[in-house]
Amino acid sequence: MNFTILRFDSIDSTNAEALKQARRGADEGLYIVAQQQTAGRGRHGRAWISPRNAGLYLSVVLRPKIDAKYLPLITLASGIAVYETLAGLGLKPDIKWPNDILINEKKIAGILAETTETEMGLAVTVGIGINLSSRNFPSTIASTATSIEAEIGRLVASSELEESVTRFFGHFYEIVTAGDGQQKILREWRRRSSYFKGKSVRVTLENESIIGITDGLEPNGALRVRKDDGDVAIIHAGDVERLRST
Ligand code: BTN
C-alpha cells in the first residue's frame, strides 16, 4: 500500500478528517495523524480521550474492493496489525473481539472503523488509538486501561509506533483484500485472541445482553456465542466483557 501522510498538531478527530478527505476524493492509503485530538471518538459513540503526546492517533482512508459482507474483517486485520506492533516492543497482547487490544486484560489500544459513500464508491476509514502514556488518564479509565509506558517502563516515540503500525497494517490489509484472504485473516486473528473460543462472556447489545461461551467466528468475522440453552448467538456488533468463572 502506498501511504500519503497528513500531519496535524491538533485536530478534532483523525477519523472525522479521514472521512472528510475520503468524500473529497482522497486515494486509498492517505493517513491522518495528530499529536492531539480534541474530539477523539471511540466505538458506540464514546469519547476517546486523546491528550497531547500521550497516544498515537491515526486514521487511514481505504477503498477496499471486497464483497461488502467481508468489510468487518478489515477491522480484525487492523487489530492484528496493532497486536504485532505491540508484540514487537516485547509486550504480550490479547485481542478482545472485535478489536480491543489488551495487556493483562487492560485496554491499551482501540480501533474504530467507519464507512462513508463517496463519488468513487464506498470508503472505509480505520482509526487506531494506542496509549503511549497513562500519566494523565482520567480516573474513569485508570483501572481498566494501560499504556506502553506503564507496561515497559519507557516512553516510546509516536513516530516509532506510527512506522510499525502502518507497515503491519499494509501487510494485513493486503491479505484481507486478496482473493483467498478472508479465511487467512480469521486464522491469523484466531491465534492472537484468547476470546476466539471457550471464553465466558457477557455481550451487551443495544437492548439486551447475552451470556455464554465464545465459539469461534463466522466467515464474515461475527462472533459466535453459545448460550446455556445450547443456541448460538451471532454477534455483529456489541460490547464483550469477560466473565470470571467462580
Ligand atoms: C474504541 O476502542 O472505542 C475505538 C477507539 C479509536 C480511537 C482512535 S484514535 C484515532 C482515531 N480518531 C478517532 O477519533 N478515533 C480513532
The string of pLDDT tens digits covering residues 179-235 is 889 999 999 999 999 999 999 999 999 889 999 999 999 999 999 999 999 999 999
Model-level pTM?
0.96
CB 201 within 8 A of CB 240: yes
Q: Are residues 127 and 202 in the same domain?
A: no
Mean predicted confidence (pLDDT) in 229-245: 92
CB 126 within 8 A of CB 60: yes
Mutation test residue for ligand 1: of 21, 41, 144, the one with most atoms within 8 Å of CB: 41
Which residue type sits at 118?
T
CATH number at residue 222: 2.30.30.100
Residues with CB under 6 A from ligand 1: 13-15, 37, 40-43, 46, 48, 57-59, 100, 110-112, 127-129
Q: Are residues 138 and 220 in the same domain?
A: no
Q: Are residues 118 and 237 in the same domain?
A: no
CB 56 within 8 A of CB 132: yes
CATH number at residue 121: 3.30.930.10
- Write down the mean pLDDT value for the chain: 95
Ligand 1 centroid–CA 113 distance in Å is 8
Task: Tell the residue nearest (CA) to atom 15 of ligand 1.
Answer: 41
Residue in this structure with the C-alpha cell 487492560, named with its chain if needed: 106
Residue 146, pLDDT > 60, answer yes
The number of beta carbons lying within 10 Å of the beta carbon of residue 10 is 11
Residue 69, pLDDT > 60, answer yes
Lowest mean pLDDT among 137-141, 144-148, 195-199: 137-141
Residue 124: give the domain boundaries: 4-190
Give the separation between CA 159 and CA 206, rounded to whole angstroms.
38
pLDDT class of 241 with cuts at 50, 70, 90:
very high
Q: Are residues 119 and 230 in the same domain?
A: no
Residue 246, pLDDT > 70, answer no
Task: Tell the residue nearest (CA) to atom 7 of ligand 1.
Answer: 129
Give the separation between CA 217 and CA 222, rounded to whole angstroms.
5
For the chain, the domain total comes to 2
| Atom of ligand 1 lying closest to residue 12 CA | 14
Q: Are residues 158 and 212 in the same domain?
A: no
Task: Tell the residue nearest (CA) to atom 11 of ligand 1.
Answer: 127
Residue 177, pLDDT > 90, answer yes
> 236: which DSSP letter?
S
Q: Are residues 71 and 25 in the same domain?
A: yes
pLDDT for residue 53:
86
CA-based nearest residue to 5, from 29, 35, 36: 29
Q: How far is CA 153 from CA 95, 148, 149, in A?
A: 22, 8, 5
Q: Are residues 114 and 215 in the same domain?
A: no
Q: Are residues 150 and 55 in the same domain?
A: yes
pLDDT for residue 245:
62
pLDDT for residue 174:
97
User: 92-125: per-residue pLDDT in tens?
Assistant: 999 999 999 999 999 999 999 999 999 999 999 9
Q: Are residues 41 and 116 in the same domain?
A: yes
Instruction: Say if residue 72 is preceded by a cis peptide, omega within 30 of 0.
Output: no
Q: Are residues 54 and 173 in the same domain?
A: yes
The gap between the terminal CA atoms of the chain, to the nearest Å, is 47
